[in-house]
Amino acid sequence: MNEATPIRPARNAELGASNEPLQNLHEFVRKARANLNQNAWDYIVGAAETETTMRRNRMALDEIAFRPRVLRNVAKVDASVERFGRKLRLPVMLAPVGALEIFDAAGAAAVVRGTGKFGAAHMLSSVSDPGLEKVADAAPDAMRLYQLYVRGDDAFVEDSVSRAIANGYTAFCLTVDTAHYSRRERDIAKRYVRESRLRSTGGDFQKALEWRTVKLIKDKFKIPLVIKGIATAEDALIALDHGVEWIYVSNHGGRQLDHGRGAMHVLPEIVDAVKGRARIMVDGGFCRGSDVVKAIISGADLVGIGRLQCWALAAAGEAGVLRMLELLEDEVIRTLGLLGVTSFAELDKSYLHQATPTNMPSVFSAFPLLDIEPYRY
């Protein structure tokens, strides 16, 4: 893995004094909006039906406050962790997003290159170009994970797992919360259907997906298995019974079942049920360094970054992804230092406290300095 020199707050550079064009995370959002047409924009910011689940993702994060400790030596703060036997600069994974090519022509290849240069993890969606092999070729040394939507029979699944192993993917992920494709009303209101949706086939296989496919993968292959879309302790326990190594807490960014719980409302239930018998990923509204810290304290091992990844890619391609991760790392390091710790290992739940949210939750509520003109449907 190519490891660029991390941003470190101790470098004695005053924030805002450099010539870097992107210095706040909300600036990626603003630039992405300028670069994208309404259909591509809605794909990032939209969710299902009333978009309640998406807003609850942010509300659940904003309901958590910090309890910082002071007068501790935090001159050197290290945000790195070890996952899958490798060191990562942050406990962050760029989450699987379909159709990344609508944000940048290089699609997932640009994302994995930027992620690899930084030193974080990347999970490739099976419905994102340029596909499994070409993304592996784009960044062979990056930590790459592969996520599958089941669009065929057992042979289709087995072929997908075999190809992921052959191309050096660290883990294989099965998404299980898309049995039916949701009503994305921003698109419906414009009578817009994404080209990749028009080409999509095999939806009945996803609708018929059952635990037997999990067993099939575990019985036939030696690769860590991730189940994405777990939202209850009951299903987490069934996953454990099947030998699943990673449970991925996710509501698809609010883009599938409407009126679901926020991811950070679900996470404690899963952590309590799993009791350390599997590792845990989570995504859903995570946009700031403080969000990442809250998730790790709450029991997650990796935090998925979805929409922020898309904004960065749309803003500046591969370089935008790398820069976004640098800024996210800067926020994480400052948050750890201000909590009075020098690494994630020093944190426990005593650093968190329930609180009342102060911002009205929305897809942009992590960025209160941002003002995006709403589109009228």
Catalytic residue chosen out of the listed positions 26, 122, 242, 252: 252
Which residue has tokens 């809250």? Answer: 294
Q: What does pTM read for this prediction?
A: 0.95
In this prediction, residue 8 has a pLDDT band, given cuts at 50, 70 and 90, of: very low
**pLDDT tens digit string along 94-143?**
999 999 999 999 999 999 999 999 999 999 999 999 999 999 999 999 99
In this prediction, residue 10 has a pLDDT band, given cuts at 50, 70 and 90, of: very low
Q: What is the DSSP string of 1-16?
A: ---PPPP-GGG-PPTT
Tell me whether residue 259 is one of the annotated catalytic residues.
no
In this prediction, residue 13 has a pLDDT band, given cuts at 50, 70 and 90, of: low
In this prediction, residue 4 has a pLDDT band, given cuts at 50, 70 and 90, of: very low
pLDDT exceeds 90 at position 78 = yes
**The one-letter amino acid at 209:** L
Q: Can you give the C-alpha Rg of the chain in angstroms?
A: 20
CB 151 within 8 A of CB 186: no
Q: Average the pLDDT over 368-375 and give the result.
A: 95
Lookup: tokens for 170 = 């660290």
pLDDT exceeds 70 at position 322 = yes
**pLDDT tens digit string along 298-311?**
999 999 999 999 99
DSSP state of 315: H
Helix (H) or strand (E) run with residue 83 in it: strand 81-83
How high is the pLDDT of residue 6? 43
Cα–Cα distance between 214 and 210 in angstroms, integer?
Answer: 8
**pLDDT tens digit string along 38-68?**
999 999 999 999 999 999 999 999 999 999 9
**pLDDT tens digit string along 171-188?**
999 999 999 999 999 999
More confident position, 254 or 3: 254
Q: Is the dihedral of CA 256, 260, 266, 267 positive or negative?
A: positive
Spell out the residues 6+ positions from residue 301 whose beta carbon is closer than 8 angstroms to its own: 81, 83, 91, 246, 279, 280, 281
**306 class by beta-carbon count within 10 Å (0-12 exposed, 13-18 middle, 19+ buried):** buried
